[in-house]
């Protein structure tokens, strides 16, 4: 399974204005819900927040990858936002984030969860690719970029 298979343009937004980590997570869940794959938003938000308590998913270089295995979804789903202004996300490098990508996986499918996170990390850890996503003007542009980068 490729990352672009779980991310659809309806769950992507650019230039979003939010204030903090909690707002980011709630917004990403709301976007993921547009796909129809989120069964219970409250369960998903709780699972993602519990995962954040273990270790921040602000991985550095302006990137946050909040994720969780959850019963609150019917199938793998992702959402992505670029932020108008970088926001503190308790990142490992203490830098604010500009790109936030949420991956929600099914419980019992650890292998697929890890493969998708790995593929996504490889894409956005490349400076040129990350910058292309940050400066993309639309959800379609971002999805097209990710599809190209994944090939």
Active-site residue set: 67
Cα–Cα distance for residue pair 34/38, rounded to 1 Å: 8
Residue 124 is given by DSSP the state H
Cα–Cα distance for residue pair 17/54, rounded to 1 Å: 26
Task: Tell the residue number behind the tokens 């650890």, with chain if given.
Answer: 110
Cα–Cα distance for residue pair 32/12, rounded to 1 Å: 8
């Amino acid at each position: 399974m490729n990352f672009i298979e779980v991310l659809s343009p309806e769950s992507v937004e650019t230039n979003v204005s939010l204030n903090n980590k909690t707002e980011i997570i709630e917004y990403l869940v709301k976007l993921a819900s547009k796909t129809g794959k989120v069964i219970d938003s409250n369960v998903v938000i709780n699972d993602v927040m519990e995962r954040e308590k273990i270790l921040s998913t602000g991985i550095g270089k302006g990137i946050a990858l909040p994720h969780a295995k959850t019963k609150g979804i019917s199938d793998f789903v992702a959402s992505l936002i670029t932020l108008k202004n970088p926001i503190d996300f308790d990142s490992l490098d203490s830098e604010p984030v500009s790109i936030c990508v949420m991956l929600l996986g099914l419980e019992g499918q650890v292998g697929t969860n890890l493969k998708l996170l790995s593929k996504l990390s490889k894409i956005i850890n490349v400076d040129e690719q990350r910058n292309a996503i940050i400066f993309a003007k639309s959800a379609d542009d971002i999805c097209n970029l990710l599809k190209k980068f994944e090939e």
